[in-house]
């Protein structure tokens, strides 16, 4: 079996919701779906699922760096049209987006909104046939809302990220686990007893802090929001400002969604051997340029780990300050992506059935589909929950 | 020193925010404040704080059962006009609300909205002088919104419960701790190794489940919301429906906000010696009437614990199925109420300054005051946090 | 029902092992057992259990301060001869020990070895009939070993405290829970977010630290043993010396088994409002005399809580520095004592059967009885565990 | 820089104790040390440390499978004589042991006792010069004790494994972390919400269960010791026998030190997609032969993961049932090995100074060295702890 096929078969074992959905018949028969996605095993299995539901799927990446060619190859062999290649530069990548659009898809499944924006600007002719878009990320939704505000959005869009089954789970449990998986495998360093600084106590930060505690670390949280700071405190963590935290830190993980969380003066105060990792979306939280500039020497210390000698001390950065679980490990755990992609599949099916009733605007993820995914997950786990009686429904109306 | 005074002095040790606020001068000088509150040490200290800020305070209870006469007595000696008495029946209690209104207060601090509703119906003449209301509870806000929707609300109202510094903390950390404090002190029963069923995984349920885990229990969660059910699962808890949970439960704590969480068929399946406690607002979660009806024998098993012999087994209920931390212990920890009452104090000061600019409607708690309380709390703890730089503020606007 | 009887009936609900043992027939028929025990509901139920097993039981306290007269009264009504009274002074108490010995018991169940020592010194005539002793505490065993070393011990003695089912559980889970039960109920103070210093990381300290973490505290451990210090660190706790810990502590719990854990210079550095509690056996860990001496003012701050004004700050001590779970709460949870007393019951039955084969020395608790109690506990919980196969037994012999 | 050198330099960052020890001068000057060790970066750094202390070091592996040739090469370049090679078969490996002995070492640092046994049997002539042995493992000590019991042991031996700084830490914190590191990196599977069965609740099992809980799993423990079973229960885990556990398990980790923990009937009951991992020393806990025999199909599912199709279901085994953290990850975290190797270094220095006073038998690890390592660790962490006063020392003598 090819390596690509093997990778896809592996994730298929732990994606029970996609497996369940793929048995739902042919609701997407005669629907052409254009996908722009990270071309790796988990997303590949989503493409296959849509294909099983009857759709013609035409796919490319959403970032050439994340494309795994063996997976793309396997997908192609399974009946998906694939244009992604790892070696593509930015320009070549954009050409593949155009190639997908050449197919005049009925639906777009987008990740970051490149395909959506191009369809609405350079390739307006494809809008004629386009009936709906399902967008995975917050960043993508933000870009689409600009189109909407300018009156340029021509199809209904479903924002998948605000589904409860997505944002409640992938940040806390996905990022929480995979950040530590990455740090442990890349450093072989003991977490128990370490002083771990988590910058930012949003959903990601909470997950990272919780798992660090679970691994025996002494966790210190930094925040700019005073209320979140008190939450961290009452969750049993120490709260310091970065200026004080950096002096005692063995490991710092940034997850703020903001830039320059670590500043020049902080770098000078760090302990020798400190490990820095970023779990925020963009690689601006750890100031890589500043570090490169300050370093007297830079060297590869271990696969995925770069050492910088600064002022007589050595600082280690994992995955070049990029999202540590993706840049230096396998991204979110499979089951987390299964939840997200179940939401995506239902979103596309929903658009195919309801697009005529929908306006050309960004819709929140439909509550009933959100709960449907939750019930499917419970079913695959064999878990039964309670249901409101009529009396209870009445009671809730009153109180 | 009188017992009432001693109780108030004790809580004063752990209410640093009220202590801080009481040093803010005389911003409430010449303001008359009518209070309807649970008349015990923590609320008494709020009344004293408002008094120190210059206000004339006239207080009664919001429920005669919660009135502690020694505290009321001590308050009276400290310059507060007090009408509450524990022995009052419903009718006498309502008369004390009228007595407070006789003073024609400028501001009302309400808990449950009895005073607000009476002012707007039977005692409309007091509205002339009334400038604003600060309401503590969700229930109270709901009642006031009915007034608002009917066009009858005549003053601006601030809903304190939706402040982040309130609902993020009192449910999770306040209810979480005080529920177990109550169960432990009233039963002397070991929690470690016990099968503890927590019904409902809202903020209260999360706190109760977390603390049970912290005490070594095997925690089982029941839910009607499939998404919360999966959250509970990923937090490491077992999820069952009540029908299965009840068969293995050693202790059941209800915190759903709904009625009849335990049903007749559940009662018959319970293990001998099971302990039932309710941490939800109203005493309808455990079906007390049904239990009384089914019991062949009822007896006081321990102070605050009633035993019921049903079908050859004995079931124990703490605090008659009423809110277990209030009915059978000391309510929320002092520091939690300090946060809530700091919010209340600032709310009243805000109303006194801004009432002329406000409409006669229910306002969300002002964000800036919410954060002010958080910063004050951090200051009393000696904790410094980070602050956004100008570059970071710019960055956040873009992403 | 009398209050004493009610107390005993309550604990009977949560002592499944004693309930199980009491069904074992009449193995102690015609045996006279002299008991010196804390006369409260849990020990009372042990006396009743022995009575049900056929023994004639004659009991007194082991410390008049711990005697509950209503329980003693209830015991008497249930056929036990009881001499304990709360109002007894030291001298009167010792007389009751003699009265028990007047009955010429066959077996002694001792707690602290007062009865054992008196029998071997002042009342040697009772040794003639005495066939064995079961001693609950480490302190008692130490005293008995002195007798043994001096060649004066005339009966076999079983040391119950070194049973794994005792020391593994009562310190960690018993002291861990009941210490926090006591601190919470006596202060109504929030534990989450507090800086809690635990002095000593033995079995008790581990339990106290674990439960504090489970309640959301930031836990700091102090130690004199460098290896335990590193254990605490790797368990995720902060480790400081007392000199530094005392400056940031909100609550200090001592559990070292040593004296003067807090020193004069520490007292001067404490934060205003600090809460001190001792969970070690003797009231020498917190230097009460020193505090009394330093205090400008002493006052009852709350039931069981004494305030001391020292140097402009107030320090609060729970339960006068005595074992906080006994002095200011209900002692160990019932289920923990059920384990200990099951060990005691089996120990007495073992002595009655085997005394002729035993030497006059202190015996470790028999391994097979230790495991028997564990299996009984598992059975009452309905838990099945695995059993070694013959192949596995062989394998273990080789590796 | 060569890959071997780079690996060694990486671990040097996180071995502060060896760094500290290497500054202790030349106490091993003119001492020849023969080493039989897993030839990888962490042990290499131990060899270098001994070299820095003045010793002439001659090394080979203790198992050719664990030899990393690039590390061996780097060691050779740094002045160590190295004979290990990964490609060696059993016979060639044993020849390298003889080659080390050809140097007539003064001291042996052994791991598993191959070198010790050969010296005492086939190569008795080397005993003439041999002054002492330091053995890392329990298995090795067992073999040496056979020599001792047969009167054949000719030098003093120090058993490093029973040092508290070793067994308290490497099993719980080392195995605990590295087992989950290995499972996560090899499966990309979510741990939160999974039913994880840990077979065996010894030091390893405790660490594995604790970390699984910290990652959000629902942990089930199986045991054959009823007392450990109750410990697991009171630590908040579910306890089942394997027969019941296997039906609900998503992941099973064995850590019992025994064989055939999973039996044929268990395999038939497993859920489809179950993941099996062994964290016990030998690969006999998961019955690999039985599984191979039962499998209709066997395939490589992912690097280090083998899939077996049995009875319509697929079972996955990581690392062929061998010690999962070594076979499929990087072994213990670096800091854990730093503790162990600090003990080893001090052990060799101790032998070099005291061998003339020692008998030819196995010695427990010296308490003072054990504490010395602990104090060194605290010092590198900048942590100060308390020290007993004279009064406290006196007190402890009495109670």
Same topology between domain A3-166+332-381 and domain A172-328? yes
What does pLDDT average to over chain B?
Answer: 96
Q: Whole-prediction pTM value?
A: 0.95
Mean pLDDT (whole number) for D347-370: 98
Mean pLDDT (whole number) for A43-63: 96
Q: Which of B223, B242, B386 sits opposite A224 (nearest CB)?
A: B386
Residue burial C338-375, b: 16+ Cβ < 10 Å; e: rest: bbbbbbbbbbbbbbbeeeeebeeebbebbeebbbbbbb
Using an 8 Å CB-CB cutoff, list chain A residues near D330: 185, 188
Q: What percentage of chain B has pLDDT greater than the value 70?
A: 100
**Which residue in chain C is spatially nearest to D397 when comparing CA positions?**
C258
Q: Is the pLDDT at B64 greater than 90, yes or no?
A: no
Q: Name the residue with higher pLDDT: C282 or C374.
A: C374
Interchain proximity C218–A230, CB inside 8 Å: no
**Which residue in chain B is spatially nearest to C273 when comparing CA positions?**
B13
**Which residue in chain D is spatially nearest to A195 when comparing CA positions?**
D381
Using an 8 Å CB-CB cutoff, list chain C residues near B191: 177, 333
Q: Which of D13, D193, D305 sits opposite A273 (nearest CB)?
A: D13
Q: Chain D interface, mutation test: which of C226, C244, C284, most D Cβ atoms within 10 Å?
A: C226
Domain A172-328 has CATH 3.40.50.720: yes
Concatenate the DSSP letters of all residues of C29-61 into one string. Answer: TT-EEEEE---SHHHHHHHHHHHHTT-EEEEE-
Using an 8 Å CB-CB cutoff, list chain D residues near C255: none
Using an 8 Å CB-CB cutoff, list chain D residues near C240: 383-384
Query: Domain extents for chain A?
Result: 3-166+332-381, 172-328
Interchain proximity C334–B273, CB inside 8 Å: no
Q: Is the pLDDT at A207 greater than 70, yes or no?
A: yes
Distance from CA of D57 to the nearest CA of C (A): 30
Our CA angle for A306, A309, A313, nearest 5°, is 115
Using an 8 Å CB-CB cutoff, list chain C residues near A191: none
Determine the pLDDT at residue D58. Answer: 98
Q: Which of B218, B230, B234 sits opposite D238 (nearest CB)?
A: B218
Alpha-carbon span A122 to A106, nearest angstrom: 17
Q: Is the pLDDT at A241 greater than 70, yes or no?
A: yes
Here the tokens at position D16 are 């502060």
What does pLDDT average to over chain A?
Answer: 96
Residue burial D152-191, b: 16+ Cβ < 10 Å; e: rest: ebbbbbbbbbebbbbbbbbbbbbbbbbbbbbbbbbbbbbb
Using an 8 Å CB-CB cutoff, list chain D residues near B236: 192-193, 213, 216-218
Interchain proximity B6–C301, CB inside 8 Å: yes
C306 is in an annotated binding site: no
Here the tokens at position A297 are 């020497």
**Which residue in chain B is spatially nearest to D213 when comparing CA positions?**
B236
Distance from CA of C386 to the nearest CA of D (A): 5
pLDDT in tens, B1-27: 899 999 999 999 999 999 999 999 999
Interchain proximity D184–A188, CB inside 8 Å: no
Here the tokens at position D231 are 């410990």
Distance from CA of B126 to the nearest CA of D (A): 56
pLDDT in tens, C96-149: 999 999 999 999 999 999 999 999 999 999 999 999 999 998 889 999 999 999
Q: Chains that contact B by 3+ CB pairs under 8 Å? A: A, C, D
Could you give the dihedral angle defined by the CA atoms of residues A137, A139, A143 and A149, in that order, rounded to the nearest 10 degrees?
Answer: 90
Long-range interactions of D305-314: CB distance < 8 A, separation 24+: D305/A10, D305/D186, D305/D187, D310/D267, D310/D268, D311/D268, D312/D272, D313/D270, D313/D271, D313/D272, D313/D273, D314/A13, D314/D272, D314/D273
pLDDT in tens, D114-134: 999 999 999 999 999 999 999
Phi-psi region of B321 (alpha: psi -120 to 50; beta: other; left: phi over 0): left
Which among C350, C380, C294, C340 has a CA at the least distance from the CA of C171?
C340
Non-local (6+) Cβ contacts of D271 within 8 A are: D247, D248, D249, D250, D313
pLDDT in tens, B281-304: 889 999 999 999 999 999 999 999
Could you give the dihedral angle defined by the CA atoms of residues B289, B295, B296 and B299, in that order, rounded to the nearest 10 degrees?
Answer: -90
B206 is in an annotated binding site: yes
Distance from CA of D173 to the nearest CA of B (A): 20
A223 is in an annotated binding site: yes
Determine the pLDDT at residue A397. Answer: 82
Determine the pLDDT at residue A65. Answer: 77
Q: A81-82 and B132-135: which strand pairing?
A: unpaired
Least confident of A8-12, B350-354, D170-174: D170-174
Q: Is the pLDDT at A90 greater than 80, yes or no?
A: yes
Residue C60: pLDDT band by 50, 70, 90 thresholds? very high
Distance from CA of B206 to the nearest CA of D (A): 14
Distance from CA of A334 to the nearest CA of B (A): 14
pLDDT in tens, A315-374: 999 999 999 998 899 999 999 999 999 999 999 999 999 999 999 999 999 999 999 999
Using an 8 Å CB-CB cutoff, list chain C residues near B177: 184, 190-192, 215-216
Q: Chains that contact A by 3+ CB pairs under 8 Å? A: B, C, D
Here the tokens at position C69 are 């007269």
Alpha-carbon span D359 to D354, nearest angstrom: 10
**Which residue in chain D is spatially nearest to B233 when comparing CA positions?**
D193
Distance from CA of B78 to the nearest CA of D (A): 47
Q: Is the pLDDT at C398 greater than 80, yes or no?
A: no
Alpha-carbon span B205 to C252, nearest angstrom: 29
Q: Which of A213, A236, A238 sits opposite C192 (nearest CB)?
A: A236
Which CATH number is associated with domain B3-166+332-381? 3.40.50.1480
Note the ipTM here: 0.95
Contact predicate B169/B336, CB 8 Å:
yes
Interchain proximity C384–D240, CB inside 8 Å: yes
Q: Which of D192, D233, D235 sits opposite B236 (nearest CB)?
A: D192
Determine the pLDDT at residue C157. Answer: 98
Q: A251-254 and A274-278: which strand pairing?
A: parallel
pLDDT in tens, D87-121: 999 999 999 999 999 999 999 999 999 999 999 99
Q: Is the pLDDT at B399 greater than 70, yes or no?
A: no
Using an 8 Å CB-CB cutoff, list chain B residues near A230: 165, 169, 374, 377-378
Number of B/C CB contacts below 8 angstroms equals 113
Q: A305-310 and A297-302: which strand pairing?
A: antiparallel
Determine the pLDDT at residue D355. Answer: 97
Distance from CA of C374 to the nearest CA of A (A): 29
Using an 8 Å CB-CB cutoff, list chain B residues near A234: 169, 172-173
Q: C251-254 and C274-278: which strand pairing?
A: parallel
Q: Chain C interface, mutation test: which of D197, D227, D335, most C Cβ atoms within 10 Å?
A: D227
Q: Is the pLDDT at A399 greater than 70, yes or no?
A: no
Determine the pLDDT at residue C62. Answer: 86
Distance from CA of A29 to the nearest CA of D (A): 31
pLDDT in tens, A95-124: 999 999 999 999 999 999 999 999 999 999
pLDDT in tens, C149-190: 999 999 999 999 889 999 899 989 999 999 999 999 999 999
Using an 8 Å CB-CB cutoff, list chain A residues near D11: 188
Q: Is the pLDDT at A222 greater than 80, yes or no?
A: yes
Q: Chain A interface, mutation test: which of C189, C212, C213, C218, most A Cβ atoms within 10 Å?
A: C218
Q: Is the pLDDT at C66 greater than 90, yes or no?
A: no
Residue D65: pLDDT band by 50, 70, 90 thresholds? confident
Mean pLDDT (whole number) for B270-281: 96
Determine the pLDDT at residue D399. Answer: 65
**Which residue in chain C is spatially nearest to D384 when comparing CA positions?**
C241
Our CA angle for C156, C159, C163, nearest 5°, is 135
What does pLDDT average to over chain C?
Answer: 96
Residue B99: pLDDT band by 50, 70, 90 thresholds? very high
């Amino acid at each position: 079996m090819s390596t690509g096929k093997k990778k896809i078969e592996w994730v298929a074992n732990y994606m029970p919701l996609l497996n369940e959905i793929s048995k739902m018949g042919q609701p997407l028969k005669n629907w052409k779906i254009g996908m722009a996605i990270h071309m790796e095993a988990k997303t590949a299995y989503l493409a296959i699922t849509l294909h099983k539901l009857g759709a013609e799927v035409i796919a490319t990446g959403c970032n050439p760096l994340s494309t795994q060619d063996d997976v793309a190859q396997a997908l192609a062999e399974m009946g998906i049209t694939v244009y992604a290649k790892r070696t593509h530069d930015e320009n070549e990548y954009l050409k593949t987006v155009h190639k997908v659009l050449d197919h005049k898809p009925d639906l777009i499944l987008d990740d970051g909104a490149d395909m959506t924006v191009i369809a609405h600007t350079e390739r307006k002719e494809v809008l004629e046939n386009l009936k709906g878009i399902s967008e995975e990320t917050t960043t993508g939704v933000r870009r689409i809302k600009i189109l909407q505000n300018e009156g340029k959005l021509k199809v209904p869009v479903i924002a998948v990220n605000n589904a409860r089954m997505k944002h409640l789970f992938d940040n806390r449990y996905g990022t929480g686990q995979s950040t530590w998986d990455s740090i442990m495998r890349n450093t072989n360093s003991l977490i128990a007893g370490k002083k771990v600084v988590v910058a930012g106590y949003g959903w990601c930060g909470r997950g990272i802090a919780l798992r660090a505690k679970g691994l025996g670390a002494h966790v210190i949280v930094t925040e700019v929001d005073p209320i979140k700071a008190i939450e961290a405190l009452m969750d049993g963590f120490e709260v310091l400002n970065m200026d004080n935290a950096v002096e005692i830190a063995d490991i710092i993980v940034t997850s703020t969604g903001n830039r320059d969380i670590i500043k020049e003066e902080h770098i000078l105060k760090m302990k020798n051997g400190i490990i820095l990792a970023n779990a925020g979306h963009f690689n601006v939280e750890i100031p890589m340029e500043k570090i490169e500039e300050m370093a007297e020497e830079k060297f590869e210390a271990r696969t995925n780990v770069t050492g910088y000698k600064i002022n007589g001390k050595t600082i280690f950065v994992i995955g070049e300050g990029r999202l540590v679980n993706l840049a230096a490990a396998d991204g979110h755990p499979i089951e987390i992506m299964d939840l997200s992609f179940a939401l995506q599949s239902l979103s596309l099916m929903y658009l195919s059935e309801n697009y005529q009733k929908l306006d050309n605007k960004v819709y929140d993820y439909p509550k009933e589909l959100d709960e449907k995914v939750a019930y499917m997950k419970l079913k695959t786990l064999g878990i039964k929950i309670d249901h409101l009686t009529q009396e209870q429904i009445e009671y809730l109306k009153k109180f």
